């Protein structure tokens, strides 16, 4: 199992690690990594892996498979990386920091939909340019959307701290406020990592977030769509304050 450095240190941009496996000369598995994989509707990190002899390999995709993080490297040259080598990893911080802002903003907006519209969040898709949140609610008034965005921006303006800590599954199950996702808690996890936007929203989450809402910027509403009887979809972008 790859040790996921980003779970406890989301601002770490570089790291040293050992190659535990390499498949087809382009899929690199490390004993630990800062690279966030494509998951939870959030796009993966890009960056590079540098060999101890100084050769640079671009990381073009990162995914999770059976508890391991697979770093796909660009294959325009012969891969000289070998199992057991120590390498240096560097993530594309500009990209990652944007994804962190989008991820935290999505939690704020989802919490507003849950609280104000009693909506269940059914999915999200976040990249460096825009966010999309899907939710399920019976009655939905499109004109209300700007109102929800305004509420979310008011929360962001409070510069709340974003805390990360662990709770047991039992503790989470006894706290209804922690179980908002339509699909429920992830199975087979006894300890759950909680992302807690101080006093406003807390939920189990394995992603990378900013440490304060002061870093998010402002949510700008793009459009809303109805996707069937109960399913709604909203698009937004983050702009600088």
Q: Which stretch binds Zn ion (CB under 5 A): 21-29, 125-133, 206-214, 230-238?
A: 206-214
Per-residue mark of binding to Zn ion, 28-67 (x: CB under 5 A): ----------------------------------------
Find the part of the chain contacting Zn ion (CB under 5 A) among 43-51, 160-168, 182-190, 200-208: 200-208
The interface region with Zn ion, picked from 6-14, 47-55, 83-91, 198-206 by CB under 5 A, is 198-206
Residue whose entry in the numeric block shows the structure tokens 């494509």: 38
Beta strands in the chain (DSSP E): 3-4, 14-23, 27-30, 32-33, 47-50, 56-65, 68-73, 86-91, 120-126, 131-136, 162-168, 191-197, 201-204, 218-226, 231-239
- Residues 175, 181, 187: CA angle, nearest 5 degrees: 80
For residues 30 and 108, which CB has a smaller minimum distance to Zn ion in the complex? 108
> Is the Cβ of residue 196 or residue 205 nearer to Zn ion in the bound state?
205
CB-count burial class (<10 Å; 0-12, 13-18, 19+) for 1: exposed
Nearer to Zn ion, 92 or 205 (CB): 205
Residue in the structure block whose two tokens are 């972008």: 237
Contacts of 67 (CB under 8 A, 6+ apart): 1, 2
Q: Which of 2, 73, 205, 232 binds Zn ion (CB under 5 A)?
A: 205
Q: Which residue is nearest to Zn ion (CB)?
A: 205
Pick one of 37, 131, 207, 217: the residue that binds Zn ion (CB under 5 A). 207
Q: Tokens 């998010």: give the residue.
A: 216
CB of 144 vs Zn ion, minimal distance in Å = 23
């Amino acid at each position: 199992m790859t040790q996921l450095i980003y779970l406890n240190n989301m601002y770490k941009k570089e790291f040293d690690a050992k190659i535990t496996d390499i498949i087809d000369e382009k899929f690199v598995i490390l004993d630990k990594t800062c690279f966030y994989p494509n998951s939870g509707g959030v796009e993966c990190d890009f960056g590079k892996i540098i060999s101890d002899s100084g050769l640079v390999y671009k990381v073009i995709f990162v995914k999770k498979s059976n508890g391991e993080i697979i770093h796909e490297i660009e294959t325009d040259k012969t891969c000289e990386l070998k199992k057991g080598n120590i390498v240096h990893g560097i993530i594309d911080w500009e990209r990652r920091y944007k994804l962190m802002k989008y991820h935290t903003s999505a939690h704020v907006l989802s919490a507003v939909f849950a609280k104000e519209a009693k909506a269940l969040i059914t999915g999200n898709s976040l990249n460096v340019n825009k966010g999309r949140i899907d939710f399920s609610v019976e009655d939905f008034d499109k004109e209300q959307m700007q109102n929800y965005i305004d509420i979310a921006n008011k929360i962001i303006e409070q510069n709340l701290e974003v805390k990360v800590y662990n709770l047991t599954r039992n503790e989470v199950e006894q706290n209804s406020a922690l179980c908002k996702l339509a699909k429920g808690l992830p199975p087979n996890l006894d300890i759950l990592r909680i992302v807690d936007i101080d006093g406003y929203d807390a939920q189990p989450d394995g992603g990378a977030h900013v440490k304060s809402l002061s870093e998010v910027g402002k949510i700008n509403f793009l459009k809303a769509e109805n996707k069937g009887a109960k399913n709604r979809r909203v698009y937004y972008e983050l702009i600088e304050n």
